[in-house]
Structure 1
Amino acid sequence: MTFKNYNFKPYINEALAEINFVEPTKVQEIVIPKVLKGEKVAVQSVTGSGKTHAFLIPIFQLLDENLDEVQAVILSPTRELAQQLYNVAVQIASHHKEKPIDVRLIIGGSDRESEIKRLEKSQPQIVIGTLGKIYDLAINENVLKIYNAKRFVVDEADMVFDQDELIEVDKVIGNIQGDPQFLVFSATIPKGLRHFLTKYLENIKVIALEDSLTAKNIEHIMIPVKARAKEEELLKLFKIINPYLALIFVNTTERVDELAFFLAEKGIKVGKLHGDLEDRARKQMLRRINNLEFKYVVASDIAARGIDIEGVSHVINFDLPLDIEFYIHRSGRTARYNQTGQAISLYDYDDDEYVNKLKNKGLKPKYMKITDDGLIETNLKKANRALSPNKIIEIETHKKIPVPKKVKPGYRKKRLEKINKEIRKAKRERINKIYKKKARGNYEDWESRQ
């Protein structure tokens, strides 16, 4: 089947032809007919599956171009993703020659007063924006008139529905009259999102388009390392892989700065993305990344979520994320649009249970070790059987002192100090047992000779 079989409006066909879209992707083939029929849908699909056009195409097909009021609201988790959605929508709208279609981007960082004045003069037909900004203009100021919207889209929904944001989401939706068509797209279905689905999409059946945890064209690699040797192992890894662009993930802003500083001292040019970057610096960094000024970029989850950076060949988890759902989103930065990619995780003994949870969810990682000849696949079970007594002590001690659920600055250093203290104690006890056993054996041997 090709897009011509759908009988779209001529300007939509022209827009698709301009970007060489001939056949729909799997998500588009399933979702577009349902949206055109007016069905409410929740779609679980990996990033890069073509879902943006899966909802934008039918929105334009169902749009009344002569009606100057808000007909569709598209909610995005970040400014960057909202900007990307807006760019795609504008590309489609630009082919409608009779009357300009008013697609408006509503995000933070713009001139608020100018936005309010423009909204007082005219309303957009399609609104694309972030929750905070839409809430401000629609609820607080009541200048964005969304109450007649026929369609309400939540993109990357699992990134939008933090518990604190649910109240604002409820108020925005409550501002819409009638029974709008809800379209929800998400890589995972966390508890907060389930609340939304059961409240606004009665008897909803989630359309799951991936059998595995992440895209099948991502190779997942686990490299066991000692926590205190991670930086050196990362440098060894750099000598083996040759990325087009690698995103290196850590769990906090402080860790971004620390690792980027370490790599810079080693003469490696790296970019940085974290939540504390000011808007101008963030935009400048994204521009430099997309211009391929960096081969390596150190990032936090908050900074990288919702960002579509082209050409990411490798995702490196220097720190495994505390939440498994973030592992999925990190991995989704690579292997987009039928490309291939690698998700490489440096993990220590603390992470064994975490990795097992990933495997229970369907992930099939390769266990590999870094050697002078490159990455070599290793049988972890065989390796475990050959562990020395001291190594077993280290593993068991790490397991006995788990990572706290709520981490504070410096927790890792304090935890390692505690672990090392326990390891030294356990090793001393083992040595004492050996000496006692030897002493007992020597005494028994002496007795036997008397």
Structure 2
Amino acid sequence: MKFKNLKIKKYIQDALVDLNFHQLTPIQEEVIPKALEGQSIVGKSPTGTGKTHCFLIPIANELRPNVKEVQAVIIVPTRELGQQIYDELKKITRYSPEYIDLRLYVGGGRRDDEIKRLELSQPQVVIGTIGKIEDLAFNENLLKIHTADKVVIDEADMVFVPEDINRIDQIFALFKKDIQSLVFSATITDELSRFVDKYLNKSVNIDLSGKKISKDSIKHVFIKTKNKDKNKVLLDLLKIMNPYLVLIFANTLEEVDDLSKFLGNNGYPNAKLDSSLKPRERKNVLSRIKKGEYQYVVASDLAARGMDITGVSLVVNYSLPVDIKYYTHRSGRTARFKDTGTVISLLDFDDEKYLGKLYSRGLDLYFGEIVEGMFKETKYQPRKKNKYDEEIEVLHVKYPMPPKVKPNYRKRRKEKIAKETKQIKRKRVEDIYKKKAKND
């Protein structure tokens, strides 16, 4: 389906032509017509598939420029994503014959100026983070979001984190009961599922996160680094791959800093992206990356949370994220839209369960190895479960996690499971030796 076939205002069509938008992506083809009809939608699709315009086009089309009140609210997890969405909506509405008041409310803004402006007038479209919207709409009662007809939650799995659930409830209590809700996410977390059940029981669910999308665009490779110098493996890998632009992810600020210095000292000048940077510094680094000044970028998961960096041909997980949803977000930095890309993870532990979860999501997994300056791949095959694996899985049923957790219970539960897991693994080794001795 082509954008010119959508029943939308001419000024939006003109802007889309300028942006060289012609063919809708699969998620856009599924979502935009339904959103234009006013349906509430929960859309699940990998990053880089065009989700942003699934809600920006319907919002722009339904705006009434002569009505000077909040008509749409877009909630985002980070200031960077908020800025990107604000910039994109500016592009789409640039040819509007009447002025449209778009306002961005994220951390780092001048609060006094924001309050003064709100006392004079209301924006027509609000783009902001949970904390900022809660502050201005709930605490200060200055941002009048109760008039909104549409609410969007982008990168929803990053918005719906346990510590922000109460904030979300407070904000949604201000909206109309029949408000059109558009929720987009790469993964569906437990918190997000509970929200959908509570507020969006009449929504249309659209899931395009399936096997075909991931398999066709991204190759997932794992290099075992156990008993190897991980830094040397990384240097050898970068030398062989010579990517156009690579994002190298680490799990902690300290690891990002150490890795950035190590690469710089070994002839790989790089940009560093993490939460320690001030907003102005982060904006400057992103600008330089987009201008092509850097080939190598070392990042924390901040860069996986909706930041749009085009041209990434390779993603390297120096450390695998503990939470598998971050693997999805990191991977989504490459193979955006119709591009292809590779994700290479340095595997310093043999975690069959982790790989099994990725495999069950329809990803084609490969093991990689660097041999005499050449990169060789073998296809991953999931290991069949044995009785010991099943015994370990039963432990999580044996020690369940109740809805209300008492102090220190989580820690004691983890210790009990770890202790019994160790005993099961030890028994497995003993059984192997007994069997071997018997055969000898």
TM band (smaller chain): 0.7 to 0.9
**Deviation for aligned residue 1:298:** 1.1
Cα pair distance change 1:380/1:202, threshold 3 Å = closer
In the alignment, is the contact (CA less than 8 A) between 1:93 and 1:100 conserved in 2? no
Instruction: Say if 1:4 and 1:283 are closer, same or farther in 2 by CA, change over 3 A.
Output: closer
Alpha-carbon distance between aligned partners in 1 of 2:312 and 2:207, rounded to the nearest angstrom: 25
Q: How does 1:283-432 map to 2 (within 5 A)?
A: 283-378=283-378
Is residue 2:60 matched to residue 1:60? yes
Q: Secondary structure at the match of 2:376?
A: strand
Give distance in 2, aligned partners of 1:352 and 1:250.
21
Corresponding residue of 2:114 = 115
- In structure 2, the residue corresponding to 1:309 is in which secondary structure? coil
- Worse overlay, 220-229 or 13-22: 220-229
Per-residue deviation at 1:221?
A: 1.1
Task: Name the structure 1 match of 2:210.
Answer: 211
Q: Counterparts of 2:217 and 2:69 in 1: how far apart (Å)?
A: 42
- More deviation, 21-30/306-315: 21-30
> Could you give the per-residue CA deviations for residues 41-84 of structure 1, whole angstroms, max 9, x where no partner exists?
00001111111111111111111121110000001111111111
CA contact (8 A) 1:312 1:334 kept: yes
155 and 65 in structure 1: CA distance in 2 versus 1, 3 angstrom threshold = same
Amino acid at match of 2:7: N
Residue pair 2:155, 2:305 contacting (<8 A) in 1 also = no
Structure 2 contact 366–379 (Cα < 8 Å) conserved: no
Match of 2:405 in 1: none
1:333-369 CA distance string (max 9 Å, x none)? 0010211110011113333331122112222112121
- The code of the aligned residue for 1:26 comes to P
Give the aligned residue type for 1:53.
H
* Residue matched to 1:220: 220
CA 1:109–1:380 in 2, change beyond 3 Å: closer, same or farther?
Answer: closer
Separation of aligned partners in 2, 1:112 and 1:349: 47
Partner deviation per Cα, 1:111-169 (whole Å, 9 max, x = no partner):
11111111111111111111111111111111111111000000010111111111111
Measured in 1, the distance between the counterparts of 2:183 and 2:13 equals 25
Deviation at 1:282, TM superposition (A): 1.8
In the other structure, the counterpart of 1:258 is 258
Q: Is the 8 A contact 2:71 2:147 kept in 1?
A: yes
Shift of residue 380, structure 1, vs aligned partner: 6.6
Q: Is the 8 A contact 1:247 1:312 kept in 2?
A: yes
Find the counterpart in structure 2 of residue 447 from structure 1.
Answer: none
| C-alpha contact 1:214 1:332 (8 A) present in aligned 2 | no
Partner amino acid for 2:208? L
The answer to whether the 8 Å contact 2:210/2:361 transfers is no
Cα drift, residue 278 of structure 1: 2.1
CA separation in 2, counterparts of 1:2 and 1:62? Answer: 20
Equivalent position of 1:94 in the other structure:
94
- 3-state SS in 1 of match to 2:198: helix
Compared CA separation, residues 379 and 52, structure 1 to 2 (3 A)? closer
Tell me, in whole angstroms, the C-alpha distance in 2 between the residues paired with 1:213 and 1:138: 42
1:136 paired residue number: 135
Write out per-residue CA displacement over residues 251-303 of structure 1, whole angstroms, 9 at most, x where no aligned residue.
Answer: 11111112112212212212111222222222222222222222111111135
**Separation in 1 of the partners of 2:228 and 2:166?**
42
- The answer for the alignment partner of 2:25 in structure 1 is 25
**Contact 1:275-1:303 at 8 Å conserved across structures:** no
Q: Which moved more, 1:144-153 or 1:214-223?
A: 214-223
d(CA) in 2 for partners of 1:74, 1:380: 40
Q: Is the Cα–Cα contact under 8 Å of residues 103 and 127 in structure 1 kept in the other structure?
A: yes
- Matched residue pairs, number? 393
Q: Deviations over 1:289-332 (max 9, x none)?
A: 22222211111113542211111110001111101111110000
Distance 1:373 1:235, change over 3 A: closer
Q: Which residue does 1:152 correspond to in 2?
A: 151
Q: Are 2:315 and 2:342, in contact at CA under 8 Å, matched by a contact in 1? A: yes
Report the Cα distance in structure 1 between the residues aligned to 2:378 and 2:25, rounded to whole angstroms.
Answer: 36
| CA displacement at 1:212 relative to structure 2 | 2.0
8 Å CA contact retained: 2:81, 2:306: yes
Return 5+ residue gaps in structure 2 as ranges. 384-391, 393-407, 409-421, 423-428
Secondary structure, in 3 states, of the residue corresponding to 2:316?
Answer: strand
Structure 2: distance between partners of 1:368 and 1:301: 24
Any conservation in 2 of the 1:198–1:204 contact (CA below 8 Å)?
no
Structure 1 residue matching 2:61: 3-state secondary structure: helix
For 1:93 and 1:379, locate their aligned partners in 2 and report how far apart those are by CA, in whole Å: 47
Mapped partners of 1:277, 1:351: distance in 2: 33
The CA RMSD over aligned residues, in Å, is 2.6
- The 1:108/1:122 distance shift into structure 2, 3 A limit, reads same
The letter for the 2-side match of 1:156 is E
For residues 146 and 35 of structure 2, the distance between their equivalents in structure 1, rounded to whole angstroms, comes to 20
Moved more, 250-259 or 271-280: 271-280
Q: SS of 1:16's equivalent?
A: helix
SS for the counterpart of 1:350 is coil
| Structure 2 Cα separation of the partners of residues 361 and 243 of structure 1 | 27
| 1:227–1:347 contact (8 Å) kept in structure 2 | no
Q: Provide the C-alpha distance between the structure 2 equivalents of 1:284 and 1:332, rounded to a whole number of angstroms.
A: 22
SS at match of 2:145: coil
Structure 1: which 4+ aligned runs deviate by more than 4 Å?
none
Shift of 1:4: 2.5
Matched, 1:164 2:163: yes
Native 8 Å contact 2:48 2:336 kept in 1: yes
Question: SS at 1:284's partner residue?
Answer: helix
Q: C-alpha displacement at 1:36, in angstroms?
A: 1.5
Q: Within 2, Cα distance between the matches of 1:180 and 1:352? A: 44
Amino acid at match of 1:114: D
Q: Distance in 1 between matches of 2:281 and 2:168?
A: 29
Q: CA, structure 1 residues 27+380, in 2 after alignment: closer, same or farther (shift >3 Å)? A: closer
Is the 1:44–1:186 contact (alpha carbons within 8 Å) kept by the matching residues of 2? yes
Give the match for residue 229 of structure 1: 229
Following the alignment from structure 2 to structure 1, what is the Cα–Cα distance between the partners of residues 31 and 213?
Answer: 20
Residues in 1 aligned to 2:204 and 2:69: alpha-carbon distance in whole angstroms = 31
SS at structure 1 position matched to 2:350: helix
Q: Secondary structure at the match of 2:31?
A: helix
